């Protein structure tokens, strides 16, 4: 499509890891490489969300930026890369959605990601998605894995070593957020130097490290602190349930998902941050009598204070972008394993 690709001249520094992504969001992979201290060339990203594109170009200055991952430019015009990352839309496979699987039009983006890998053969790749993909749509997922496993090199040998696992942000990166995701990884066999070792479990960090002042408990819930009537109903149900158990609903540590039909809560860590909850102040801290702020939401996805440009996006846009992202610390742990196995580390 004419005009769909924005090109920025390549840096003369050729020693950096060449990185590309599709369904890129704010490009968690580039944040993760920054955490690992690995110099990266932002070769290309592909993203249809205007807010995400604005954020990415402000942060990373990609050489190419197709405005849609379904654009032929992804397959034909993007530079070759050492590492490719993709987090296609999860709604087709999520337990929170209609779970139509391959019948959902959005599943076409997953197929485009597979086609990109087949045609362009990055040195290694990571595909991230919800656990509903392998657990509820096993036939489609098995086909995906087999498709990638069956790719052949010019000698007719398997091109990639393909492996996958399910990881949780709070268990495998220390971020206090319950976020289970499947990671499907491929190492091009001419690049692989070592066996892949998945990240081990690590201690979860204290939730207080991700909260902004004031963090001192308050005595009673103020209805005015709730974002809407649904949140008020869910907080009321949370208080009623805990009181019926003889527990104190104002005890520090509870994080409530208050945006759904029924309340859901965890103690000491946040429920899974989604696009809709991140965009709508959908998490409530009863002992502090306030919602999670958008900055706290981004921190619970691994962003460091001051790492995002201020005033570029609205809180609604930024919260939604955070909810769609791959947790940076978790991706960094997976990337360390992948790049080590591929000989880049």
Continuous segment of H or E residues that includes residue 284:
strand 283-285
Distance, in Å, from the CA atom of 290 to the CA atom of 251, rounded to the nearest integer, reads: 14
Out of 56, 90, 270, 272, which one is annotated catalytic?
A: 90
Distance, in Å, from the CA atom of 54 to the CA atom of 56, rounded to the nearest integer, reads: 6
166: tokens are 């399910």
Inter-residue contact 205 to 174 (CB < 8 Å): yes
Q: Where are the alpha helices (DSSP H) in the chain?
A: 28-36, 50-59, 72-76, 108-120, 132-136, 138-149, 169-172, 229-244, 275-279, 294-299, 315-324, 328-341
- 281: DSSP letter: T
Distance, in Å, from the CA atom of 79 to the CA atom of 63, rounded to the nearest integer, reads: 9
Distance, in Å, from the CA atom of 99 to the CA atom of 101, rounded to the nearest integer, reads: 5
Q: Is 90 a catalytic residue?
A: yes
Tell me the DSSP string of 145-190. Answer: HHHHHT-B-TTSSB-EEEEEEEEEHHHHT--SB--EEEEEEEEETT
Residues with catalytic annotation?
90
């Amino acid at each position: 499509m004419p005009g769909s690709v924005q090109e920025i001249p390549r840096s003369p520094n050729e020693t950096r890891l060449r990185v590309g992504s599709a369904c890129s969001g704010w490009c968690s992979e580039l944040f993760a490489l920054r955490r690992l201290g690995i110099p990266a060339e932002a070769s290309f990203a592909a993203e249809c969300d205007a807010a995400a594109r604005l954020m990415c170009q402000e942060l990373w200055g990609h050489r190419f930026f197709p405005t849609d991952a379904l654009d032929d430019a992804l397959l034909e015009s993007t530079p070759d890369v050492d590492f490719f990352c993709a987090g296609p839309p999860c709604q087709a496979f999520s337990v929170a959605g209609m779970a139509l699987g391959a019948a959902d039009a959005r599943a076409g983006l997953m197929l485009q990601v597979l086609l990109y890998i087949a045609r362009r053969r990055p040195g290694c790749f990571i595909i991230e998605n919800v656990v509903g993909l392998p657990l509820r749509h096993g036939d489609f997922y098995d086909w995906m894995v087999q498709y990638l496993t069956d790719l052949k090199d010019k000698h007719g040998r398997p091109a990639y070593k393909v492996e996958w696992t399910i990881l949780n942000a709070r268990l495998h990166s220390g971020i206090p957020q319950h976020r289970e995701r499947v990671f499907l990884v491929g190492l091009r066999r001419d690049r692989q130097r070592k066996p892949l070792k998945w990240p081990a479990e690590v201690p979860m960090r204290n939730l207080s490290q991700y909260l902004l002042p004031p963090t001192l408990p308050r005595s009673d819930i103020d209805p005015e602190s709730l974002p809407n009537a649904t949140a008020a109903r869910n907080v009321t149900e949370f208080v009623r349930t805990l009181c019926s158990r003889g527990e104190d609903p104002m005890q520090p540590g509870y994080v409530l998902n208050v945006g759904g039909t029924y309340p859901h809560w965890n103690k000491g860590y946040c429920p899974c941050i989604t696009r809709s909850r991140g965009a709508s102040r959908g998490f409530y801290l009863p002992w502090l009598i306030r919602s999670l702020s958008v900055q706290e939401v981004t921190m619970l996805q691994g962003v460091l204070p001051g790492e995002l440009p201020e005033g570029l996006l609205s809180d609604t846009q930024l919260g939604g972008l955070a909810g769609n992202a791959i947790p940076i610390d978790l991706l960094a742990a997976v990337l360390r394993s992948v790049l080590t196995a591929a000989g880049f580390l």
